Structures are given as structure tokens and as C-alpha cells.
Structure 1
Amino acid sequence: MKQELALLGTLALLPAMIGPLAAEARSIVAPLCGGALVTIPVAPTNAPPGPVQGPCCAKGCQSGSSRKRLDRSQ
């Protein structure tokens, strides 16, 4: 029984040991009139528009003293 559980645990950790699979690169190859080829990379359809940013670029709002203060003198 212990050997079966050890094998099950090893098989469960196998995807974590291998890591993510490489993504397929997609591109369009267009022939030109002169005989040359132009390769145009195609972005994945589920990616958000704009440049790719990591989590280190995410910043919170800094309100500081730029917010409007209520006039409490009335």
C-alpha cells in the first residue's frame, strides 16, 4: 500500500517537475513579388492588447495630497 501511495505521489508531482510546455509560435509567411519571404508574427488570441508586463510593474494608486479636500469651515 505504501509503494502505491509513493507512486501516486510521484505521478502527481510529475507535471510540476516537468514545468509548462513550450507554446507554439505562430506566424504568417507572405511571399513578395521579388521572390523573398516576409514573416509576420501573430499574437495569441487570448492575450491582452499592449506590451507584456510582469507583476513587478503593477502599482497601486497614490492619492497623496492630489485629492480634493472637503471644505469643513461652514
Structure 2
Amino acid sequence: MPELPEVETIARELAPRVVGRSITGFHTDWPRAIRHPSPESFAAAVAGREVLEVARRAKWLVLTLSGALVLAIQVKMT
């Protein structure tokens, strides 16, 4: 698991690259990472959504999407 400074760096580097852009699709090599809804339903829900903000909350990346969706990502690093 990454330390707090690494997650902050990821958020700061990611924000200028994705804020204002739309999600065009989603793919996972590890479907168990998406517990609910199904990976297919998740992909349909986020497709076309604009990324409004990228932030860090503790060791989580938090992406605020259009349509009042929030995507919380636990960064898994080794």
C-alpha cells in the first residue's frame, strides 16, 4: 500500500490530465475489484461522465464525476 505522500503526488499529477475530460470506457483485469454493481454495470454508469475533480482523502484517490457520481480508488502498489 502506498504512503500518503505517494497518493498525494498521484492526485496532483493526475488532476491536470483528467479534469474536464470524459471517461470513454472502462476495463478491469480484476473483476473482483468491483463488488457492486457488476463490472459491466459500473462501466455503463461511468462511460461518458466528465471528471470534475481529483482529490485525495487519506490514502484514497477520489474522483468527482458529472451526474453526482464519486469514484473512490484505493491505489494498490507493490
Larger Rg: 1
What is the TM-score when the length of structure 2 is the normalising length?
0.23
Q: Which has the higher helix share?
A: 2
Q: Looking at both structures, which has the greater relative contact order when contacts are Cα pairs under 8 Å and sequence separation is at least 6?
A: 2
Q: Which has the higher strand share?
A: 2
What is the TM-score when the length of structure 1 is the normalising length?
0.24
